[in-house]
Amino acid sequence: MTSDIPEGGREPARTPRGKPYRNVGNTRSVSMLGVGMVIGAVVGAGIALLVAPVSGHETRRVITRRVDRLRGNRGVWGKLARELRRAAAAKRKAAEIEAKREEIRLRNAETAKP
């Protein structure tokens, strides 16, 4: 019993069908395809913005949460990172308030001088 498969265990390669890209005579049709894809992407993005159920800020927050869940940032390190971000924001706000108070105090001291 003879087999059509050669000794290497592979079938012979088939010749490709169709024309190679280099030999495409009408390059305008290829460029129109590209233009159509760009227009489709822009229209799709516009429709997505129009029918979005929530605001952009809320959408970014939802996406961030989903990415964090996929990355596994729900553990101790993720909680620590959130806590540190909150603490840094609170410290920054306290420093801004203190700077404004100091500015007001200096302004009042300058106006009180005779």
Encode pLDDT of 52-68 as tens digits: 888 888 888 888 888 87
Residues whose CB is less than 8 angstroms from the CB of residue 90 and which lie 6 or more positions away in sequence, other chains included: none
- Residue given tokens 């395809």 in the structure block: 33
Is the pLDDT confidence value at 85 over 70?
yes
pLDDT tens profile 25-37: 677 777 888 899 9
Please give the Cα distance from 77 to 71 (Å, whole number).
12
Do the beta carbons of residue 105 and residue 97 sit within 8 Å? no
- Asked whether 11 and 5 are in contact (CB, 8 A), the reply is yes
2, pLDDT greater than 60? no
Comparing 52 with 75, the larger pLDDT belongs to: 52
